[in-house]
């Protein structure tokens, strides 16, 4: 990844579909992904890694087998590795995901909702990318 500034809102404006994570940047061996969510996903787990969700807009429910976790804007929740979960959103949600590189969105479930990690074709920056002193 380059050292350019990335703008989350600009990145989200480039995403057309739901449940299609895009890499915003990487740090060490982790990807920071932006994603739009709506509807119900699939029950799945990640046997070898935790998964962090941070909601930027909307309300996301993460169903667990023993309870539901409801996240609103600026809420963060970590699904521990090996815990089966199913994200769902009645209305559009914008979120950040923090996961080790190579993590598949459907975990152990596979299926038609499995999405390759998408990359942005252009620098995802906008106004936030201006260097100090530039107009």
CB 36 within 8 A of CB 15: yes
pTM of the model: 0.85
Residues 22-58: pLDDT tens digits? 999 999 999 999 999 999 999 999 999 999 999 999 9
Q: How many CA atoms lie within 13 A of 40 on its CB side?
A: 6
Contacts of 73 (CB under 8 A, 6+ apart): 55, 56, 57, 58
State residue 122's pLDDT score: 55
């Amino acid at each position: 990844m380059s050292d350019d500034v990335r703008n989350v809102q600009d990145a989200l404006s480039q995403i057309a579909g739901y449940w299609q994570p895009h890499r915003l940047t990487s740090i060490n061996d982790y990807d920071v992904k932006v994603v739009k969510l709506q509807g119900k996903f699939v029950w799945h787990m990640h046997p070898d890694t935790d998964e962090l969700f941070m909601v930027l807009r909307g309300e996301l429910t993460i169903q667990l087998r023993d309870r539901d976790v409801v996240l609103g804007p600026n809420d963060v929740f970590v699904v521990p590795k090996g815990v089966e979960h199913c994200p769902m959103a009645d209305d559009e949600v914008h979120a950040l995901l923090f996961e080790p590189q190579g993590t598949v969105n459907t975990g152990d479930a596979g299926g038609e909702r499995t999405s390759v990690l998408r990359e942005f074709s252009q620098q995802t920056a906008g106004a936030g990318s201006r260097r100090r002193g530039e107009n």
